[in-house]
Chain A
Amino acid sequence: MTDLIRTGEAARLLGCSRQHVVDLCDEGKLPVVRQGGSHRYVRRSDVLALTGRSLTRDQEQSRWLHGAIVGHLVTEPDLVLTRARGNLDRFSKVHTGTMAEHWLDLWRLALDSGLDHVLTVLVSDSPQATELRQNSPFTGILSEDERRTVLDSFREHWRTEHAL
């Protein structure tokens, strides 16, 4: 499953009117995932696909942070995976009965699929990998200094290469 948003939020992401989003839905160009009362829900990833943007700034920043995790994973795979599994157990208790629990379950499947698959999820720009990273169990691996260095590097990268 993916993050569902209402047509109003989709309109903001697209920079258009809500009515135009409704028209896109009616024309089948933007799939309506669920309809409740007077509200329609669409996938954020479908909306972003229409904008031609692959990742938002926060999604890209998340990918950079997880790129730094990759460095640790390939040098100390057992340590990193053991920590991630421990975090999955802890976080699952925190998020019982919410959507985050669903993403944590998917992480568990990813970890069970082997190291190569985990490496792919950590840096892939697919919608599912993007959602997974925003519900990450890879905490306690980067030091605070390392993490802030990545954030500083990313900020400079975004300023120079993605300036509006």
Chain B
Amino acid sequence: MTREQFAHVLRVVSRIADDPDVLVIGSQSILGSYSEDELPLEATGSMEVDTTFLSDPEDAKSGLVDAMIGELSSFHNEFGYYPQGVSIGTGIFRQAGRIASSYTRRRALSPAGGYAWSRTTASWPSSSDSTRRIRTSPSRSSGKV
């Protein structure tokens, strides 16, 4: 998966869940900080992005993401990649308070500028302010959902 595809998935996930904070779990989260050109082949993972939300009672948002644009959906069929809504209750975050050695918390596109904010940190709640501002190239993503 490329960083542009990654950004596209997060924008749509954010819109469907009506939540600007999308948490990306697993190896694809590195695309929040680096483009595929800067990464070894293995780090470009698959056509799937595991996403969840810091606030997702009953896994409603993750379930909605799966139902609307998840695996084998029309979104997957059209673009060739998709998000996987991950349930926080499935054991990913067993170690409460210290959940992720690497994750991307990313605000979806701002209404005005076509920018996204990506943050990686060593633990959660956040212990780092290593926020980066990256351009997601509105012109290249025009025509997409």
Asked if B47 and A144 make an inter-chain contact with CB atoms under 8 angstroms apart, the answer reads no
Q: How far is the CA of A62 from the CA of B41 in the complex (A)?
A: 24
Q: Quick one: which of A65, A87, A90, A95 has the most chain B CB within 10 A?
A: A95
Q: How far is the CB of B68 from chain A (nearest CB, A)?
A: 9
Q: How near does chain B come to A140, taking the closest CB pair, in angstroms? A: 5
A100 at the interface (CB under 8 A from B): yes
Within 8 A of B (CB), among A45-67: 56-58, 61-62, 65
Rounded to whole angstroms, the CA-CA distance of A151 and B68 in the bound complex is 11
Option from A57, A99, A144 in Cβ contact (under 8 Å) with B74: A144
What residues of B have a CB within 8 angstroms of the CB of A140 in the complex? 74, 77
- Whether, in the assembled complex, B139 has its beta carbon less than 8 Å from a beta carbon of chain A, the answer is no
CA distance A15 to B95 in the complex (A): 7
Q: Is the CB of A58 within 8 A of B84?
A: yes
Digitize A101-139: 1 where CB-to-B-CB distance is under 8 Å, 0 elsewhere. 011000000000000000000000000000100111011
The answer to the question of B100 belonging to the interface, with a C-beta cut-off of 8 Å to chain A, is yes
| Chain A interfacial residues counted at CB < 8 A | 47
Contacts A15-B95, A94-B80, A139-B76 given; does A99 touch B42 at CB 8 Å: yes
Q: Mark A4-22, 1 if CB is under 8 A from B, else 0.
A: 1110110110010010000
- Residue contact B47 to A95, C-beta cutoff 8 Å: yes
In the complex, which residue of chain A has the Cβ closest to the Cβ of B41?
A99
Q: How far is the CB of A126 from chain B (nearest CB, A)?
A: 16
Q: Which of B5, B66, B100 contacts A12 (CB 8 A)?
A: B100
Known: A9-B101, A57-B87, A151-B66. A136 touches B71 (CB 8 A): yes
26 sampled A-B residue pairs with Cβ under 8 A: A4-B42, A6-B102, A8-B101, A8-B102, A12-B92, A15-B94, A56-B90, A58-B50, A65-B71, A87-B77, A87-B80, A94-B5, A95-B81, A98-B1, A98-B36, A100-B45, A100-B46, A103-B47, A131-B46, A134-B84, A135-B48, A136-B71, A136-B72, A141-B72, A144-B74, A164-B91
Q: Closest 4 CB pairs between A and B?
A: A8-B101, A139-B77, A98-B44, A94-B80
